[in-house]
A = this chain, B = another copy of it.
Amino acid sequence: MSDYIHDQQALGVSVGEVELQSVTFPSLTLDSGRALEPVTIAYEMYGTLNEERTNAVLVLHALSGDAHAAGYYPGEAKPGWWETMIGPGKGFDTDKYCVICSNVIGGCKGSSGPSSVNPETGKEYGVTFPMVTVGDMVRAQKLLIDHLGISKLLAVTGGSMGGMQALEWAVAYPEMVSSCISIASTRRHSPMQIAFDEVGREAIMADPNWNGGDYYQGEPPDNGLAVARMIGHITYLSDESMHEKFGRRMREKKAPDYDLSLDFEVESYLRYQGEVFTRRFDANTYLYITKALDYFDLAAGRGVLVEAFREVPDDMRFLIIAFSSDWLYPPYQSKEIVHALKGNGLDCSYLEMRSSHGHDAFLLENKDLTRVVWHFLETTGRQQGLRLA
């Protein structure tokens, strides 16, 4: 997902000032067989948990996201990454629900990850950090939800990798989930998605500053990370949105310079995006999280996808959303999920939204998305006999 600067008015009312919290657990066993000891999970909460603790919505973030999904840190002008969707009266209505978002393990924004200090050595883990999977991320979130005393989540939701985690929640802890909203996501990466991830990883590891993952005391591999981000960023947009946004406009001039400098606006935009990203993201986390994305296969060990949902109870509700111009996570991937849900007779709504914004559509102002999510949660709450605080 991209870094967007939103129009303040379009963002609507905010949850206001927020705070990053964290909790540390002694141990978590991972899919690889290794244990993470200890494991810290950073999270934020917006809205109020009702007395029965039945109004919690767990928001899961994408590759480059973090726990800061809404509101503002003191003194900062940039809101959380899903400010368009989370807040009073918004799709995830904080007047009614308690929204929780945690940084995934393997991340670099407060949860245990490669840039964390290994207590055994007193030094950053780097590539000695164990590999994590989407299943591990969800298992870590389960520790947090248990810790918060929540026995059942009203909804699990996210876009892209967040959608994968939401599906994994539904399958791994079916008794703890009332509804699942997966947006612009997939049951597993296609070879093209793996290929784009791999080129990004190659760019990072080819940067001499990467130094085998051990760069925390020196210069980080910013050039490689910027190239990886630029590749990713192109795949989050669409041909159509790039035509609208840049066309072939040249920078501050009408004619080419006939040298190797940047000529087109789209070039300087991309370079800027790459550079900004290096200021807020850890290169090793980029490697770890893209690997987790590529490993993810909801049907792994289960044969066909329809088997994955066998243990899901009849009253769990699903909302699967795709965007027409998303060529990275194309609508056919969402439809595969829908077919498998229907194959189990489960309650599933599918929506393919018309948008020119490509994969990033889930992050942008979208009245339709807001309305659909708001009503879906309202109905889910009614079915669960939800009482508000």
Residues of A within 8 A of B (CB): 31-34, 127, 130-131, 188-192, 194-196, 198-199, 201-203, 205-208, 213, 223-224, 226-227, 230-231, 234, 237, 239, 242-243, 245-248, 256, 258-260, 262-264, 266-267, 270-271, 274, 287, 291, 294-295, 297, 327, 330
Contacts and interface: CB of A to CB of B under 8 A. Distances in A.
In the complex, which of the residues A131, A190, A226, A260 has the most CB atoms of chain B within 10 Å of its own CB atom? Answer: A260
Contacts of A198: 230, 262, 264, 266-267, 270-271
B191 A264 contact: yes
Q: Could you tell me the dominant secondary structure of chain A's interface residues?
A: helix
A242 B199 CA distance: 15
Contacts of A266: 191, 194-195, 198
Contacts of A32: 258
A248 B194 contact: yes
A231 B228 CA distance: 10
A370 to B, nearest CB: 28
A234 B192 CA distance: 7
Nearest to A256: B295
Given A31-B258, A188-B248, A260-B127, A267 B194 contact: yes
Contacts of A208: 208
A263 B295 contact: yes
Closest 10 CB pairs of A and B: A32-B258, A206-B223, A191-B242, A131-B258, A191-B266, A191-B246, A198-B267, A199-B230, A195-B234, A192-B239
Nearest to A201: B260
A380 to B, nearest CB: 33
25 contacts: A32-B258, A34-B258, A127-B260, A190-B239, A190-B243, A191-B242, A191-B243, A191-B247, A191-B264, A192-B239, A192-B242, A194-B248, A194-B267, A195-B230, A195-B267, A198-B262, A199-B230, A199-B234, A206-B207, A206-B224, A206-B227, A227-B227, A231-B231, A263-B294, A264-B294
Nearest to A193: B239
Given A194-B266, A195-B230, A198-B230, 17 more contacts: A131-B258, A131-B259, A188-B248, A189-B248, A190-B242, A191-B247, A191-B248, A191-B266, A194-B248, A194-B267, A198-B262, A198-B266, A199-B234, A202-B274, A205-B260, A206-B207, A239-B330
Nearest to A297: B248
